[in-house]
Structure 1
Amino acid sequence: MENFLQFTLLVVINLFVGSMVGIERTILPLLGEKQFGLASTSAALSFIISFGFSKAIVNYFAGQIADRFGRKRVLLIGWAIGLFVPILTIYAHAWWVIVFANILLGINQGLTWSMTVNMKIDIAKANQRGTAVGLNEFAGYSGVAMMAAVSGFMASRYSLSPEPFYVGIGIAMVGMLLSLIVKDTEQHLKTQVQDHGSAMPDRSLSSREIFRLTSWKDPTLSSASFSGLSTNLKDGMAWGLFPLYFSTVGLSVSEIGAIVAIYPAAWGFFQLFTGALSDKIGRKKLVTYGMWVQAFSLWFLLVVNHFSLWVLGAIFLGLGTAMVYPTLQAVIGDVASPNWRASSMGVYRFWRDSGYAFGALAAGVIADVVGVTWSIGIVALFPFLAGVYSHVRMDETLKKP
């Protein structure tokens, strides 16, 4: 019963973690264009680049710090930093302040989201990891979707800033309070280390060894890292270009907010099922087909010309992302030893979330050269190729009882 309460509390905490990002999904690309007068798409997307790189770097170190000092301490530090993000955005007098605030947001997300994932995996049984991560991601992206819709509504009713960001201050404060209540998972981790059986070595590995294994040396871990990077490369593009693209086709801010919210809402909702499904049918199929669904959904969005079809495309884009997001983290949990699992997860999340930055950077540069539509279409090639790579390189990691 205590495990259930702790798990539920961690799910609720991650709802608030995701909400911090959701506030920005609709507003910041439009804020850069309309309030700060940024004409260059790549300049307007600089806030995503700063967010992506800071989150990726913090993800890498968060795992190592958590392995040494405990998950709960890292979670609390993440929320303390997150409180400054909406405050800085409200009082921003220049675009560089927005960029700096998003560096802090990246740190907040890297610390808090990483810890909720690791703490759930600590609590869950080996054959429930997909379910555990699926629930975590469902909560987080439900928060993203909810606040993307709320912020779009508030912006259309009041203004792009500061009203939506007042909510952000409240979210950070509640997240901090809930994190004070949750218990650390150190004892669960010790039990797993004693019980663990893995094809990978249980001995302590150096940070360099873990980085090499997860990045390129181990076929399964490296293909998971590339799929994660490609998924968020696509999402970094979507975050930056979707509001601009749908604005050019004549949609209102509230309509744009709806589409921008539906995509992560579907992403969050389907993870309720895809994580658990991976515990039954295995990881590899979901990863491979999920990457391909993402690619074809993006191309579909570009060839249709009706609001209901754009909504349908956004739903399928969310479905494809949901097929891979919890599953890839379950793959890491399957392969890595508990002794260095959080560190390996940190490396995976480093590559995955650097995709935000690479996606925004590539999308911005391509959009400046050939336009927003072509940029979306070209970026869609990455998840397609990642699906091919996973099909060839990834082993099935789910152990049958």
Structure 2
Amino acid sequence: MATGVTRSQRFVLALVCAVAVSTIYAIQPVLAAAGTGLGVARESLGGLVAAGQVGYFAGLILLVPLGDVVNRRWLITVHLVLTAAGAAAAAAAPNGAVAVTGLAVAGLFAVVVQVTVAYVAAVSAPSERGRNIGAVTSGVVIGILGVRVLAGVLGDTVGWRAVYALLAVLCVTLALIVRATLGPDRPASGARYAQVLASMRRLARTDRLFLSRGLIAFFLFASFGTLWSGLALPLGTDPWNLGTTQIGLFAVAGLAGALGAARAGRWADAGHAQAITGSALVALTASWLLIARIETTLWLLAIGIVVLDFAVQAVHVGSQHLLTTAHPHRASSVIGAYMAFYSLGSALGAITTTWAYSTWGWPASCWAGAAYSLCALVVWGLAQVTGITRRNAADSPGARAECRDTAGLPC
């Protein structure tokens, strides 16, 4: 039953998302220093970045569905403690193998982010669901971008290990706060874990709303990853030659855009999620025209970053609002499956931008980022033309009956 979320609870849950997701991305700004300290060869540094992403993808498939089976408050608490254990292992790692293991464990349990979103969706009143999701998921973008600034500063002053030591302490602290301040949330479906996994497979095959929003997320975060995984490359060379801390400060522009999009949840509550998606994807594509001007001015780059992160967050919030509203009794598994598209898209963007930059330079990376956003816009347009809406894709009587008949899960 929806009991509502207080302002202080929204703040705590946004912090949970920010800190947990930071454990995946904190290694990027300090990668070279970490590699030197751990004795990892330059050509093998990608393993440190990939470890968290691989763990995160596994957690989306295997752990997030537990939120539809057990008390989500308990699950959030346990996942935070285990994320802290992984971060602490990375901070104390004597070599690359231990660091990779710690980063993979941290990434595996960092899917507490999706359990948190599902918790918020479940306990929010329908009229406030989008607003609360928007406020809490703003913590995700704050974590992804803010940790670049934090890691850059700590890496240049104290050392890269301090980043993960701090994140471990914050995770444990938040686990205690969550336990003390949140009310229990017992899933209403009464489903078993195997049933939830089966429903995820069927969802990917048959639910057109989920497929369209998943594909949009795939291309959306491929575009996002193209920027943030490759931005340090041109900024660290001529004509700018910026240091780690200076490069990290560009994340502040991204934070401004992401926080500005927090209102997207209110727009979704008002029934405008589909329209906001189309407008935001147009803005996302246009932002690359500004980002591509990096060789002549950094002001246009900063403006482009604000627009890009605003658009990404607006679309992301709208998608989660639509999916959790369409599937209120299995929000965890739906969000977990949806975020698998996000994870794969982010990885694709990271691979694309490094390859394109090393081959043809920054303009090629920008063309790739714009192409991904255009693909997302095309998927959205086709969904509008074919009439894929929340009502006819997931709330239809046939869809509900199918869920009950095959897995015992109401849609």
**Could you say which TM-score interval applies, normalised by the shorter chain?**
0.7 to 0.9
Please report how far the alpha carbon of residue 172 of structure 1 lies from its aligned counterpart in structure 2 after TM superposition: 2.0
Taking the aligned partners of 1:34 and 1:244, their CA distance within structure 2 comes to: 22
Residue 35 and residue 66 in structure 1: after superposition, are their counterparts in 2 closer, same or farther (change >3 A)? closer
Residue 341 and residue 13 in structure 1: after superposition, are their counterparts in 2 closer, same or farther (change >3 A)? closer
Taking the aligned partners of 1:104 and 1:177, their CA distance within structure 2 comes to: 20
The answer to whether 1:344 aligns with 2:345 is: no
Match of 2:75 in 1: 74
- What residue identity is the alignment partner of 1:64? P
Equivalent residues of 1:67, 1:343 under 8 A apart: yes
Match of 1:162 in 2: 161
Match of 2:246 in 1: 255
- What residue identity is the alignment partner of 2:129? R
Residue 206 and residue 17 in structure 1: after superposition, are their counterparts in 2 closer, same or farther (change >3 A)? closer
Pairing partner for 1:357 from 347, 353, 356: 347
Please report how far the alpha carbon of residue 275 of structure 1 lies from its aligned counterpart in structure 2 after TM superposition: 1.5
Residue 85 and residue 63 in structure 1: after superposition, are their counterparts in 2 closer, same or farther (change >3 A)? closer
Please report how far the alpha carbon of residue 136 of structure 1 lies from its aligned counterpart in structure 2 after TM superposition: 0.5
Indicate the SS of the match to 2:182.
Answer: coil
Residue 49 and residue 379 in structure 1: after superposition, are their counterparts in 2 closer, same or farther (change >3 A)? farther
Equivalent residues of 1:20, 1:144 under 8 A apart: no
Residue 205 and residue 10 in structure 1: after superposition, are their counterparts in 2 closer, same or farther (change >3 A)? same
Taking the aligned partners of 2:84 and 2:128, their CA distance within structure 1 comes to: 33
Match of 2:367 in 1: 377
Equivalent residues of 1:134, 1:326 under 8 A apart: yes
The answer to whether 1:236 aligns with 2:225 is: yes
Taking the aligned partners of 1:29 and 1:381, their CA distance within structure 2 comes to: 30
Match of 2:401 in 1: none
| CA RMSD after TM alignment | 3.2
The answer to whether 1:310 aligns with 2:301 is: yes
- What residue identity is the alignment partner of 1:14? C
Taking the aligned partners of 2:29 and 2:314, their CA distance within structure 1 comes to: 24
Residue 290 and residue 2 in structure 1: after superposition, are their counterparts in 2 closer, same or farther (change >3 A)? closer
Provide, for residues 30-83 of structure 1, a one-character-per-residue CA deviation record: whole Å limited to 9, x for no partner: 75589867555xx54444433333212312233321111221232123212211
Please report how far the alpha carbon of residue 120 of structure 1 lies from its aligned counterpart in structure 2 after TM superposition: 0.6
Taking the aligned partners of 2:365 and 2:149, their CA distance within structure 1 comes to: 25
Taking the aligned partners of 1:48 and 1:293, their CA distance within structure 2 comes to: 29
Equivalent residues of 1:134, 1:274 under 8 A apart: yes
Match of 2:317 in 1: 326
In the TM superposition, 1:1-400 aligns within 5 A as 3-4=5-6, 6-21=9-24, 23-28=26-31, 31-32=34-35, 39-40=42-43, 43-110=44-111, 112-159=112-159, 161-186=160-185, 190=188, 207-213=197-203, 215-249=204-238, 250-263=241-254, 265-304=255-294, 305-336=296-327, 338-371=328-361, 373-394=363-384, 395-397=388-390
Q: Which segment drifts farther, 74-83 or 322-331?
A: 74-83
Residue 46 and residue 22 in structure 1: after superposition, are their counterparts in 2 closer, same or farther (change >3 A)? closer
Please report how far the alpha carbon of residue 19 of structure 1 lies from its aligned counterpart in structure 2 after TM superposition: 4.3
Please report how far the alpha carbon of residue 378 of structure 1 lies from its aligned counterpart in structure 2 after TM superposition: 1.6
Provide, for residues 76-135 of structure 1, a one-character-per-residue CA deviation record: whole Å limited to 9, x for no partner: 23212211343333344544444433322321221x101210111011122322111100
Please report how far the alpha carbon of residue 257 of structure 1 lies from its aligned counterpart in structure 2 after TM superposition: 0.8
Residue 221 and residue 29 in structure 1: after superposition, are their counterparts in 2 closer, same or farther (change >3 A)? farther
Equivalent residues of 1:46, 1:360 under 8 A apart: no
Please report how far the alpha carbon of residue 256 of structure 1 lies from its aligned counterpart in structure 2 after TM superposition: 0.2
Equivalent residues of 1:25, 1:260 under 8 A apart: no
- Is there any run of 5+ residues in structure 2 with no aligned partner, and where? 393-411
Taking the aligned partners of 1:285 and 1:121, their CA distance within structure 2 comes to: 21
Please report how far the alpha carbon of residue 2 of structure 1 lies from its aligned counterpart in structure 2 after TM superposition: 7.7
- What residue identity is the alignment partner of 1:121? A
Residue 376 and residue 51 in structure 1: after superposition, are their counterparts in 2 closer, same or farther (change >3 A)? farther
Taking the aligned partners of 2:5 and 2:368, their CA distance within structure 1 comes to: 45
Equivalent residues of 2:74, 2:179 under 8 A apart: no
Indicate the SS of the match to 1:303.
Answer: coil
Please report how far the alpha carbon of residue 314 of structure 1 lies from its aligned counterpart in structure 2 after TM superposition: 1.3
Taking the aligned partners of 2:49 and 2:370, their CA distance within structure 1 comes to: 18
Indicate the SS of the match to 1:248.
Answer: coil
Provide, for residues 6-46 of structure 1, a one-character-per-residue CA deviation record: whole Å limited to 9, x for no partner: 44443343343344446435323675589867555xx5444
Equivalent residues of 2:276, 2:315 under 8 A apart: yes
Residue 122 and residue 284 in structure 1: after superposition, are their counterparts in 2 closer, same or farther (change >3 A)? same
Residue 205 and residue 262 in structure 1: after superposition, are their counterparts in 2 closer, same or farther (change >3 A)? same
Match of 1:201 in 2: none
- What residue identity is the alignment partner of 1:88? A
Q: Which segment drifts farther, 309-318 or 47-56?
A: 47-56
- What residue identity is the alignment partner of 1:331? L
Equivalent residues of 1:29, 1:45 under 8 A apart: no
Equivalent residues of 2:290, 2:303 under 8 A apart: no
Indicate the SS of the match to 2:147.
Answer: helix
Taking the aligned partners of 1:298 and 1:76, their CA distance within structure 2 comes to: 39
Provide, for residues 141-193 of structure 1, a one-character-per-residue CA deviation record: whole Å limited to 9, x for no partner: 3344433222222233344x233333223222212222322435435x54xx7
Taking the aligned partners of 1:220 and 1:152, their CA distance within structure 2 comes to: 40
Please report how far the alpha carbon of residue 327 of structure 1 lies from its aligned counterpart in structure 2 after TM superposition: 0.9
Provide, for residues 185-212 of structure 1, a one-character-per-residue CA deviation record: whole Å limited to 9, x for no partner: 435x54xx79xxxxxxxxx976344334
